[in-house]
């Protein structure tokens, strides 16, 4: 296929859009909105997964010790924990260290509490268990639960915590959002096929006389179908670019809001938009969807029968 043929096909697509600007504009608006929603769910899912992995790197087991535990028991417990295959390191946190850390964290929130003479060291000594790489990034809450229960049964251990509540809730929420997003995305993709197909069908109906003439003079089926295939590809490509632009604007606005809120300021530094490779993949998929929709429509509407039926009718 030479560049001259492609240029002719592009001119034909532009002529068709000028003849029916309302249909073309409505198609782009609807398709761009659908792709923008798909892109939004994609960015949200990727960032939720990234946040889970980033926070997973900071998740550790806090093994709280009994008040009357002896140094020998603590040493034996540390050795036992270090021997576990899923444990990378074990750090001892004394009562004083725990209190100092609490003071540091609360200094800007409740300074009066720190000046309270009755405030001493209400925190138990603990062992900070750093997990091996991978175990706290794969979303395996059950695996961490099993570790916590196993460690909780050891001598000298009062309790074991790793933020079970938020880890379990966030993991469950992420799985629900991912599954729901996949279903909605599939529905929107099917709808996109329908929208592009209708646009191409309208173009075919609008130029049916030209198609019949081309058939009568012996134009090949591929030559007749090619402009409509290119039209579908162009619609998918342009709609994808519009969708990415919309999502980028929403992302910048969202990050700005998060940075202005203390509760989400740190999270704003951990999320990002699609990288160039992901954006190119998004545009490529949308373009292929446009081509597929056009192919299905052209195969069902333009199979060489139009002119033949007109000739039989005239006879």
Tens-digit pLDDT profile for residues 239-293: 999 999 999 999 988 888 777 765 566 666 778 899 999 999 999 999 998 888 8
Q: What is the pLDDT of residue 282?
A: 93
Q: What is the mean pLDDT of residues 136-152?
A: 70
pLDDT tens by residue, 170-195: 667 777 877 888 888 888 888 888 88
Q: What is the pLDDT of residue 112?
A: 59
Most confidently modeled range among 123-127, 130-134, 135-139? 123-127
Q: What is the pLDDT of residue 248?
A: 93
Give me the phi and psi of 91, to 5 degrees please: -120, 130
Q: What is the mean pLDDT of residues 20-44?
A: 86
Of the listed ranges 74-78, 107-111, 142-146, 243-247, the least confidently predicted one is: 107-111
pLDDT higher than threshold 60 for residue 120: no
Residue 186 token pair: 């599939």
pLDDT higher than threshold 60 for residue 35: yes
pLDDT bracket for residue 302 (50, 70, 90): very low
What is the Cα–Cα distance from 235 to 28, expressed in whole angstroms?
A: 7
pLDDT higher than threshold 50 for residue 311: no
Contact 199, 236 (CB under 8 A): no
Going along the chain from its start, the domains and CATH numbers come out as 3-54+175-314 (no CATH), 60-162 (3.30.70.3040)
Q: What is the pLDDT of residue 314?
A: 47
pTM of the full structure? 0.64
Residue for token digits 């034996």?
76
Q: Tell me the torsion sign for CA atoms 273, 278, 280, 286.
A: negative
Q: What is the mean pLDDT of residues 221-242?
A: 84
Q: What is the pLDDT of residue 165?
A: 61
Contacts of 215 (CB under 8 A, 6+ apart): 224, 304, 306, 307, 308
**For residue 259, how many other CB atoms are within 10 A of its CB?**
14
Q: What is the pLDDT of residue 263?
A: 56
Which position has the higher pLDDT, 148 or 59?
148
pLDDT higher than threshold 60 for residue 312: no
Contact 199, 296 (CB under 8 A): no
Q: What is the pLDDT of residue 175?
A: 76
């Amino acid at each position: 296929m030479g560049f001259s043929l492609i240029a002719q096909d592009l001119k034909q697509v532009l002529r068709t859009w000028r003849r029916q600007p309302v249909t073309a504009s409505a198609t782009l608006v609807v398709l761009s909105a659908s792709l923008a929603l798909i892109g939004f769910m994609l960015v949200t899912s990727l960032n939720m997964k990234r946040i889970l992995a980033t926070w997973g790197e900071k998740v550790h087991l806090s093994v709280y010790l009994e008040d009357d535990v002896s140094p020998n028991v603590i040493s034996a417990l540390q050795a036992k924990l270090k021997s576990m295959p899923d444990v990378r390191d074990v750090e001892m946190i004394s009562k004083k260290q725990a209190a100092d850390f609490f003071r540091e964290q609360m200094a800007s929130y409740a300074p009066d509490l720190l000046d309270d003479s009755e405030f001493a060291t209400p925190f138990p000594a603990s062992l900070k268990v750093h997990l091996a790489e991978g175990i706290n990034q794969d979303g395996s809450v059950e695996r961490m639960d099993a570790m916590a229960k196993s460690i909780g049964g050891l001598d000298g251990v009062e309790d074991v915590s790793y933020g079970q509540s938020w880890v379990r809730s966030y993991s469950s929420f992420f799985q629900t959002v991912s599954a729901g997003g996949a279903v909605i995305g599939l529905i929107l993709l099917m709808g996109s096929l329908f929208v592009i197909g209708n646009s191409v069908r309208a173009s075919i109906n609008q130029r049916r006389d030209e198609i019949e003439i081309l058939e009568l003079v012996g134009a090949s089926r591929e030559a007749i179908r090619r402009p409509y295939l290119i039209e579908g590809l162009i619609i998918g490509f342009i709609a994808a670019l519009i969708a990415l632009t919309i999502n980028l604007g929403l992302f910048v606005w969202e990050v700005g809001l998060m940075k202005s809120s203390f509760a989400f300021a740190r999270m704003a530094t951990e999320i990002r938009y699609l990288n160039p490779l992901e954006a190119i993949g998004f545009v490529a998929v949308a373009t292929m969807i446009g081509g597929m929709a056009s192919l299905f429509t052209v195969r069902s509407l333009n199979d060489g029968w139009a002119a033949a039926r007109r000739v039989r009718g005239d006879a």
